Amino acid sequence: MTFNMIAEAAVSLLLVLGGLFAFVGSLGMLQFKDFFMRLHSPTKGTTLGIGCVLIASMIYFSVSQREPHVQELLITLFLFITAPVTGHMLAKTGLHMHLRFITGTRGSLPELMDEDVGQSRVARPLRPKPPGGLKTRREQLLKSRGR
Amino acid sequence: MTPILRFLPAPMLSLILLVTWLLMVRSVTLGQLLLGVILAIGIPLLTRQFWLPFPRVKHPLKLFRFLLCVLGDIVVANLHVSLLILTPKREPHPGFVEYPLQVKDRLAITLLANTITMTPGTVSTNIRLDQTSLLIHVLDMKDEQKLIKEIHERYERPLREIFEC
């Protein structure tokens, strides 16, 4: 009886924590100012959230069906493999499309080499200029060349 | 090449496939075990052409320690990013850092890039195709040199020791 209660409490706590982390991670999408910063919240903020929910699921089914449930570990494994790769692909695409980043960004973006860019450049959709604060890489380049 | 290695080009991959299969079907009966073994031998043989030669894991114990360390860092990373999100007053200072790579092996580089993405405040954005540097986007940058040194000490050196390259 008491063991079940402890398990129940642990499961509830993990579920609430997991939900909280996933929510905060999603909130980051709203909070952060540019594309590259927004990449940080789905790759990290939600990993722990999903991890908590999976651990809760493992405990719940192991206790209620009285046999170990470990296949949730597979989900964790796939998540850990796919999340960074997806983040990397998104970031790379962002670089190729010269997405705007916030002006305070430190460090310079190295010029992409020919082999990084590929044969044909990705067409960038035309957009109205933002009211200020954000700059494209191309604008920065033009400015630094004194044009 | 010994006869056993001809049928098991990647023993670790085969083992992982077998365990994955048994976890997915959730039973360890003889039939499933047999099917799992067939898959574990067949899939690496069929996909062998696509793989680069696997580097040998020289120190499995160190790999285990590295994984534990990364797991701990993932939790810290989550708390760190959550804290940044929840305190909008504190403006983060994002930045790009070019990280000089010292590991040469492709699998090691992949592992390093994945680790960097999963750990506090950094996402790997671009890798030079000549495999000499990795571009990292940092969410809240304080000291560029310190960050490079930290990544080197904490992740790259263990990886180099594990694969010895």
Instruction: Please determine, for residue A63, whether its predicted confidence score (pLDDT) is greater than 80.
Output: yes
CB B163 within 8 A of CB B58: yes
The pTM assigned to this predicted structure is 0.72
Q: Tell me which residue has tokens 């609430």.
A: A16
Confidence of residue A147 (pLDDT cuts 50, 70, 90): very low
The whole-number average pLDDT for the span B56-82 is 82
User: Over the stretch B71-88, which tens digit does the pLDDT of each residue have?
Assistant: 888 888 788 778 878 887
Count of domains for chain A: 1
Task: Collect all residues of chain B within an 8 Å Cβ-Cβ radius of residue A110.
Answer: 98, 135
Does residue A107 lie within any of the structural domains? Answer: yes
User: Over the stretch B102-127, which tens digit does the pLDDT of each residue have?
Assistant: 877 777 888 888 888 887 677 777 77
Which site among B79, B123, B155 would you substitute to test the A interface, given the most A Cβ atoms closer than 10 Å to its Cβ? B123
Counting one residue from A and one from B, how many pairs have CB atoms under 8 Å apart?
Answer: 126
Cβ contact, residue pair B125, A92, below 8 Å: yes
CB atoms within 10 A of CB B89: 4
Does residue A127 lie within any of the structural domains? Answer: no
d(CA A13, CA B98): 40
Instruction: Please determine, for residue A54, whether its predicted confidence score (pLDDT) is greater than 80.
Output: yes
CB A79 within 8 A of CB A48: no
Confidence of residue B131 (pLDDT cuts 50, 70, 90): low
B149 exposed, middle or buried (CB, 10 Å; 0-12, 13-18, 19+)?
exposed
Structural domain range at position A55? 3-121
User: Over the stretch A84-141, which tens digit does the pLDDT of each residue have?
Assistant: 888 888 888 877 777 777 666 666 665 555 555 554 555 555 555 555 555 555 565 5
CB A133 within 8 A of CB A102: yes
Does residue A104 lie within any of the structural domains? Answer: yes
Average pLDDT value over all residues in chain A: 74
Determine contact: B13 vs chain A, CB below 8 A. Answer: no
d(CA B37, CA A120): 45
What pLDDT, on a 0 to 100 scale, did the predictor assign at position A136? 56
The whole-number average pLDDT for the span A6-14 is 90
Does residue A59 lie within any of the structural domains? Answer: yes
Does residue A126 lie within any of the structural domains? Answer: no
Q: Specify the DSSP element, H or E, that contains B97.
A: strand B95-100
Does residue A7 lie within any of the structural domains? Answer: yes
State ipTM. Answer: 0.74
Q: Which residue of B has its CA nearest to A96?
A: B126
Average pLDDT value over all residues in chain B: 79
Does residue A135 lie within any of the structural domains? Answer: no
Does residue A145 lie within any of the structural domains? Answer: no
Task: Please count the residues of chain A.
Answer: 147
